[in-house]
Amino acid sequence: MSMSMSTSVCGGGGRINPSSSSSSSSLISRSYRRARGPCHAHSHARHSTSRCRLSASSPSSVWAGSWDEDEYYDVVVVGAGHAGCEAALAAARMGRKTLLLTLTLDKIAWQPCNPAVGGPAKSQLVHEIDALGGEMGRMADRTYLQRRVLNRSRGPAVWALRAQTDKRMYSDVMRTILERTDNLFLREGMVTDIVTDENETLTGVTTHYGVTFRCAAAVVTTGTFGNGIVWVGRKQVSAGRAGESAVSGLTECLQRYGFETGRLKTGTPSRVDRRTVDVSRLEEQRGDEGLPKGFSFDPDFDPDEFRTTPELRSQLSCYVTRTTAATADLVNSNLDETPTYGGWCDAKGPRYCPSIEDKFVRFPHRESHQVFLEPEGYHMPELYVQGFSTGLPERLQVAMLRTLPGLENCVMMRPAYAVEYDYVPCQGQVTPTLMTSKVRGLFLAGQINGTTGYEEAAGQGLLAGINASLYIDVGENRIADVAASSDSGEGDVDAGALVSRARSRDSLLVLPRSSSYLGVLIDDLCTKDLREPYRMLTSRSEYRMSLRQDNADARLSAVGHAVGLLSDRRYEAFEKKRATVAAERKRLSGIRIFADRQVALAEEVETVTKQRVPSSTKGGGLTLEELVRRPGVTYELIEKHGFGADESLSAMEKTSVEVEVKYEGFIKRESKSRRKVAGNEGMSIPKDFDYLSVDTLSMESRHKLESIRPLTLAQASRIGGVSPADINALMVRLLQEKRNQQRDETNRAKKETTPV
Amino acid sequence: MIWEPCTSPTEPPNTEHRLMDWGFHMTAVFGKTTGAADALPILPSLRVRVVSNRILCHVTRVYTALTDFVCVESFLSVGMKRFHTFRSFQVHGRLAVHSLTRCACLKHARLVPRGPCGASAHVHGNRPATRPRRLGPGASNSNAAATSQQEAISSDTIAALVTAPCGGAVAVVRISGPQALEYATHIFEPAGTNKEEEWTPESHRVYFGRAVHPTSRILLDECLLFAMKAPRSYTREDVVEIQTHGSETGVVAARVLDALFELGARRAEPGEFTLRAYVNGRIDLMQAESIGMLVSAQTAEAADVALGALVDERSSSDSSAGSSFAADMTRARDACLDALASLEASTDFAEDDIPDLLSDEEVLSMIKRDVHEPIARALETRRAGELLRAGARVALCGRVNAGKSSLLNALSESDAAIVADVPGTTRDVVSAVSSLGGVPVTFLDTAGLRSDSQGVADGAQVDDIERQGMQRSARAAATCDAVLFVVDSDAGFGAEDDVAWRALVGGGGIVASSTSDSSNGDSKMRLAVPTILVYNKIDVAAPSNRHPDEASFDRVVEVSATTGKGLDDLREGVRAVLSPKATNVGWAVSERQAEALIRARVAADAFLSDAHAGVPIDVLVPHVRDAASALLEITGVRRRARARLGHHGSAEEELVEEELEEAVLSRLFSTYCVGK
């Protein structure tokens, strides 16, 4: 995919026609419309066709000259947080000339809350991002200062890697990566408006200072900045993050385009100075040493590239302390100082992140709550006080911190605060491609869509970046129907179809729920009514057995490769791994074990599983695969007895073999129960389907479906308020249309074959 | 017509948000049937389609439990993602109209004419951007909301005669609804008060006075009035009961009722008071069903069983722990949800971050103790419950003239059947009802079975009528719950008995045509239903020439229909074969409950066996989910009055309304302090 224009663009920034610098968006779009013809001279085939059509109807080209001097980008990404960075990297790597606009270049990929990546469900997301060719997995591997595998005592389906990262290093390294990337341009700017043509197709974005960047697609990832308000106690200040100005104007702009917006609230706890904390009295939480791999599946990737000193290669510890009776007293006697219990703020925070006052109120019987102290960086004294977020005023925060053992003399460096911000409920407004349904070419990703968490944001950003890039190639009229067919069914992923479509680059990418947590996340966003910021949880997926971190590469590498994000080298590495694993599984199923022949192995297996291994006199014994399938038998165990592979397998490959063998049966069961789902629900709905004419639908559902325009029947069924009856009626209509179509085709075929 | 669900008790009505939150929506379509709309004949029918599986269950259960109409086309089930099940069923004909009106009070749904009603879509309009907004569509003004809700729930007031329509010394007219008290003041003048005086009845006090016509003030009757103000009433609405004199034709009460209808009351549909009690959270689904059982109980024992299920779980769990079905099932459901919350918490949050998680062993033993065992216990009651409710049919079969009719008369202590020595006297199936240990048993006397040729020798030809009668008896035998095969002990088990026996075993509907192959070969013949071999007429002679294979019968009893000897043994035998697992738990599950229970048991079984096999516990979560969703169907929604009265119900109560996933998450967050 070669772009006709790829570099040298920064020339004429800011030189715009005075008339177009007006803040009126209608004026801008009008004048732009007139100018449409010439300004696309260097653009794409699709654009030129539409341009020809349109320029024929617009006689004047008075303004053309001035607009030509504007900068043109294929993709503009608004915001350089975790969503924005992934989006920009994906677009640039897919060959798009990409502009990344951010309020400040000093806070790129900033981790304003807990500097950690991964954890249950989120680790799976990061692995998926890596398999698709995103950056977050490698970023965490490059900058972690501690990492652990969580849920070891559970099955591998829910094993989760969590990395504490060095906050500054993360930001610095990401900036370096961005700067190293071809086609990618960084610039400071506050986007407050979007520009569209008369078809509500995006043609550019405008910054607060009045610069318009023309573009084919824009990804808006403004996080908590939309009219953000930071609260500490009763005090509030307009800010997107502490100390950074909020953005007003963009939300209002979206509202002008008919978007509904809402408010969400989240928060972050206080930070204390590590040098004032007596960690010697606290329980230490060390990282896991010698983990076989990090988040990235890339075997040739060097995670230590940026770890220039030996110190940066060691792991730091976290510490655990507990609240005391004094903490409880302090909280309970000052409840009226908190926003929730004081009654001046009725927006509740997310349930999975209760404030310390919530904990004391809701769990009064519990004497003490755990509090974790987590380092924010190798060279920063700040400790993140995990589990201690609060709405109390700052003076009380210090007092409260000092009731914790080890923190008696602590110095607070940053107060805890809550932030309240605008978001765009995705239901009916954003399609599963992350393109908005109202403005073509406008993509939304990250917290603006109502999620929370860096991983959730990065995943969306990646998909939005991919789709913004694909959008430029895909014929407009094909977007909806092709995307629909890629969500073919609730059943297992039709990986082949997904990949071949991705490779042909003639459709936008939609990840089915069965493909990934990212697919679940986006589907939930688009079809459910959110009540609180959406956090990924493993329980949200009905495919938990098959959506594991260890097989994210098997699930998504082909897709990443097909869209052009995963290099040939990495894809080959993946294929090699897959082949190795398959060969090893074949080998395991070919070797039979008998209690009387392989005595040592059989005995150990019997002690571990408390089940007998048959001897050679009784039947065919057990294959190695059958042994590994037994709970408690690891690959290591059979390796110990000399039954490992001839060529040594990498740790990653061993895990894959073991997990695949063990989970095969469960996955079959899972997919069997999924298959109960009626086959027709995967039926795609033509993008121009006329819901209003289906008189068997309730009027309300007609309007709802008309506005949301689901891609498949399954998606339609998940829309709140659309009744099963309506789905039934819709299905009948779709079947009828299909039948009619087939009949028409046969008739036509008959006609053609009939001699005239 | 479109069903537009109104709002939950604490929320202001009619916002888009509430609609989604409720997660259910009903549509009623007249003139269309499901499936290919163009292919089927157009029948007036009702389709009720509901998003949430649980809500659907409520709808259908309430229908079938409390009302009298038939689901013609039963559930068309389409499995949906996760725990959503889309189903629809149809009620044809005029019943559709009744069902519609019934739906009107169900779940506060309102019946609105078909037309554009999605107008309220954009609730987030342009708003001051800096003003903080609440996250959910909270109740901004709970009082106002409660008031408007009150109207929405029961906009109409219903009245009906709740005693037998005619006869009896007293007739009771019950009025329920917001205008009940007002109507009462219009038609009732308490004795000893000034007519000009404003009067409203106090709650739970009996007044004596006169019922008068509201406008003409004509005296209707002298009567008693008893008012129960909301929520302390059967329906949780204002209820007034007026006791009038009974009369042969019921005319007195009917006049009072007519007066009420003139005032604007509506005649209550069958079961509507109970429906309202359910809708208003007064009773839960199980209790509603129990009331249905109680009302239709034919014997005292059946009534006891129904009451056993009806008793409120709290009171019963104090007195006789674990004896109430409701308590058992609620505990089982809670155990499933607790287990799920713990399992999900431990997988979705790093395990060492959350204290107090249940250990795997605790989860296991909890599922075993609180889920598996109670379900197994409950299912054992199923047969007994069904017998108590529906009764049993027992057919008396045998060759002609074996004394079946006299036995029927003896068993039922009646003379329902004509007894004569002429073979083939009984030509049609004759039935008589008797109570055996609380089980209402219908005994069916059937035409004696004999071959066509047999009759020639006796001089009594088998005619067409008798042949048809014999076919009917075989059919009756094939569809009943037990068979008494009657043999004349004087004659013993002879060739004719064998012919009759073979005819029965041969699959019903067959009259043996030949006597030639009498006793050779397969003696291992059995009927599908329990069978008792009865040697009758032992007063004449002791049984001689016994059946060669008495072991193939469940029991063998010797009786004399004439003297009554052995009849008690026979009764006991019938009772024993009908309910092999006699239970004395005092309650029994219905078939509907049993269906869900079986699903829950299958899931619990799978969980336990997999867990014992050492399968990682997170893999077992789907089993617990299956069990939980099945149990949620049984226990349904219990909305306590608190929520409705404008008090804020506890989070838990509101959350039961939500789907399983949300219920589990809510429990998780309310049980575990996931601070990290």
> So where are chain A's domains?
72-461, 568-667, 680-753
**Angle at alpha carbon of residue A420, lines to A414 and A421, rounded to 5°:** 125
Q: Which band of pLDDT confidence, cut at 50, 70 and 90, is reported for residue A37?
A: very low
Which of chain B's residues have a Cβ under 8 Å away from the Cβ of A722? 25
Contacts across the A-B interface (CB distance below 8 Å): 221
Q: How far is A691 from chain B (nearest CA, A)?
A: 14
**A702: nearest CA partner in chain B:** B118
- pLDDT for B64: 33
Q: State whether A700 and B122 contact (CB < 8 Å).
A: no
Could you report how far apart the first and last alpha carbons of chain A are, in Å?
Answer: 46
Q: A234 or A434: whose pLDDT is higher?
A: A434
B329 Cβ contact partners less than 8 Å away, ≥ 6 residues apart: B286, B374, B378, B631, B634, B635
Q: In chain A, which residue's Cα lies nearest the Cα of B674?
A: A352
**CB-based burial of residue A180 (10 Å sphere; 0-12 exposed, 13-18 middle, 19+ buried)?**
exposed
pLDDT of residue B587: 56
Q: How much is the pLDDT for B295?
A: 57
Cα B12–Cα B663–Cα A716 angle in degrees, nearest 5: 70
- Nearest-CA distance from B645 to chain A in Å? 22
Other Cβ atoms less than 10 A from the Cβ of A680: the count is 16
So what's the pLDDT on residue B556?
87
Q: What percent of chain A has pLDDT over 90?
A: 42
Domains and CATH numbers, chain B: 156-268 (3.30.1360.120), 306-312+322-349+356-382+590-671 (1.20.120.430), 392-419+428-447+464-512+524-578 (3.40.50.300)
Sign of CA dihedral A646, A652, A656, A662: positive
Distance in angstroms (rounded) separating the CA atoms of residues B217 and A229: 68
Q: Using one digit for the tens of pLDDT, what is the confidence trace for B508-543?
A: 433 333 333 434 444 456 677 788 888 888 888 777
Q: What is the pLDDT at residue A406?
A: 94
Kindly list the residues from chain A whose CB atom is less than 8 angstroms away from the CB atom of residue B20: 529, 720-721
Nearest to A229 among B121, B130, B618 (CB): B130
CATH number for the domain formed by residue range(s) A568-667: 1.10.10.1800
Which residues of chain B from 23 to 52 reach within 8 Å of chain A, CB to CB?
23-27, 29, 32, 34-37, 47, 49-51
Comparing CB atoms, the residue among B134, B665, B673 nearest residue A347 is B134
Rg value, chain B, Cα: 31
Q: How does pLDDT run across B7-44, given as a tens digit for each residue? A: 333 333 332 222 222 223 333 222 222 232 222 222 22
Out of B132, B661, B669, whose CB is closest to A263?
B132
Q: How confident is the model at residue B444 (pLDDT cuts 50, 70, 90)?
A: confident
Instruction: State chain A's mean pLDDT as an integer.
Output: 81
A326, pLDDT greater than 80: yes
Contact A336, A342 (CB under 8 A): yes
Closest by Cα among A670, A722, A719 to A694:
A722
pLDDT greater than 50 at residue A210: yes
pTM of the predicted protein model? 0.64
Among A347, A677, A717, whose Cβ lies nearest the Cβ of B135?
A347
Using a CB-CB cut-off of 8 Å, the residues of chain A touching B26 are 723
pLDDT at A340: 76
Contact at CB, A154 and B134, closer than 8 angstroms: no
Q: Any CB–CB contact under 8 A between A260 and chain B?
A: yes
Helix (H) or strand (E) holding B440: strand B439-445
Tell me which chain B residue has its CA closest to the CA of residue A231.
B132
E-assigned strand segments in B446-505: 482-488
For residue A176, the model assigns a pLDDT of 96
Residue B596, amino acid? A
Is the predicted pLDDT of residue A517 greater than 90, yes or no?
Answer: yes
Whole-number Å distance between alpha carbons of A673 and B622: 10
Q: What is the dihedral of CA B68, B73, B75, B78, to 10 degrees?
A: -160
What is the C-alpha to C-alpha distance for residues B92 and A551, in angstroms, rounded to an integer? 52
Q: How far is CA B591 from CA B24, B49, B326, in A?
A: 25, 22, 15
Q: And the tokens for A544?
A: 């938990």
Tell me the β-bridge partners of A236.
A231
> B231: cis peptide before it, omega within 30°?
yes
C-alpha torsion sign, points A671, A672, A677, A682: positive
Kindly tell me the burial class for residue A158, based on how many C-beta atoms sit within 10 Å of its own C-beta (0-12, 13-18, 19 or more).
buried
In a 10 Å sphere around its CB, with 0-12 CB exposed, 13-18 middle and 19+ buried, how is residue B620 labelled? buried
pLDDT for position B603: 84
| DSSP element (H, E) containing B445 | strand B439-445
pLDDT-based confidence at residue A602 (cuts at 50, 70, 90)? confident
Q: Flag whether pLDDT at A146 surpasses 90.
A: yes
B112 touches chain A (CB under 8 A): no
Query: Which residues of chain A lie closer than 8 angstroms to B24, CB-CB?
Result: 723
Tell me the C-alpha distance between A754 and B19, whole Å: 56
Half-sphere exposure of B351 (CA within 13 A, CB side): 20
Give yes or no for B612 touching A (CB within 8 A): no
Region label for A350, one of left (φ > 0), alpha (ψ between -120 and 50) or beta (otherwise): beta
Question: Considering only residues 341 to 370 of chain B, which have any Cβ-Cβ distance to chain A shorter than 8 Å?
Answer: 344, 346-351, 353, 355-356
> Which H or E element spans position B254?
helix B251-263
Among candidates B79, B344, B675 on the partner chain, residue whose Cβ is nearest the Cβ of A678 = B79
A568-667 with A680-753: one CATH topology? no
Structure tokens at B654: 């509101």
Instruction: Classify residue A210 as left (phi > 0), alpha (psi -120 to 50) or beta.
Output: left
φ, ψ of residue A229 in degrees (nearest 5): -130, 125
Burial class (CB in 10 A: 0-12, 13-18, 19+), B156: middle
Give chain B positions within 8 Å (CB) of A523: none
Q: How far apart are CA A151 and CA A36, in angstroms?
A: 57
Tokens of residue B294, six digits: 């109680």
- Tell me the pLDDT tens digit for each residue of A439-456: 999 999 999 999 999 999
User: Which of A360-369, B135-144, B458-467 is least confident?
Assistant: B135-144
- Mean pLDDT for B577-597 is 60
Q: Rounded to the nearest 5°, which phi and psi values hold at B504?
A: -65, -50
End-to-end alpha-carbon separation of chain B, Å? 50
Per the CATH hierarchy, to which homologous superfamily does domain A72-461 belong?
FAD/NAD(P)-binding domain (3.50.50.60)
Of these ranges, A381-390, A527-536, B62-71, B252-261, the one predicted with the greatest mean pLDDT is A381-390
Q: Which residue has the higher pLDDT, B539 or A569?
A: A569
Q: Using the predicted structure, report yes or no on whether residue B501 has a pLDDT greater than 70.
A: yes
User: Could you tell me which CATH number the domain at A680-753 has?
Assistant: 1.10.150.570
Arithmetic mean of pLDDT, B273-278: 72
**CB-CB contact of A554 with A663 (8 Å):** no
